[in-house]
Amino acid sequence: MSLNGQDAAALVCLLDDDPSVLKATGRLLRSAGWAVKTFLDPNSFLDQARKLKPRVAVLDILMPVMNGLEVQTQLKDVSPATRVILLTSNDDAHVRTQAMEAGATAFFLKPVNSDEFLASIESVVAGA
């Protein structure tokens, strides 16, 4: 499968209910050469993830319709190979533990350290 001429394995999907975070994070990833698809709505994201099977999904934790942990759980069913990175403004140790125990590969606080975040994306896609 390809997306704009790129392998779907290089696709990073972003889910956040804040349009400014989507814009900034998407811009950062695109500047590093990644194909990016952004979503404001968890249900729309899950529907597309079922079709696109992205290699990486970056999920916000606190969202009004469905929180990031719920999305992470449902994502396992619709695209089991998709790796999850969580991005949040609320550093809750319990939530971090739940996310990592459920299989998240990384957990970042907003505003994200660009170098660490991009290195994490690279590591996930490389299969590390």
pLDDT band for position 5 (cuts 50, 70, 90) = very low
- Work out the average pLDDT over 14-35: 96
Q: What percent of the chain has pLDDT over 90?
A: 83
Residue 113 has pLDDT above 70, yes or no: yes
pLDDT at 91: 85
- Work out the average pLDDT over 105-126: 94
State the average pLDDT for the chain. Answer: 90
For 75-90, how does the pLDDT look when each residue is reduced to its tens digit (9 = 90+)?
999 999 999 999 999 8
Ordered by where they begin, the domains of the chain are 2-126 (3.40.50.2300)
- Work out the average pLDDT over 65-72: 95
Residue 1 has pLDDT above 60, yes or no: no
Residue 14 has pLDDT above 70, yes or no: yes
Residue 31 has pLDDT above 90, yes or no: yes
Concatenating the DSSP letter of every residue in 10-77 gives GEEEEE-S-HHHHHHHHHHHHHTT-EEEEES-HHHHHHHHHHH--SEEEEES--SSS-HHHHHHHHHH
Q: How far apart are CA 72 and CA 52, in angstroms?
A: 16
Secondary structure element (H or E) that encloses residue 107, with its range = strand 106-109
Residues 6+ positions from 65 with CB-CB distance below 8 Å: 17, 41, 42, 43
pLDDT band for position 105 (cuts 50, 70, 90) = very high
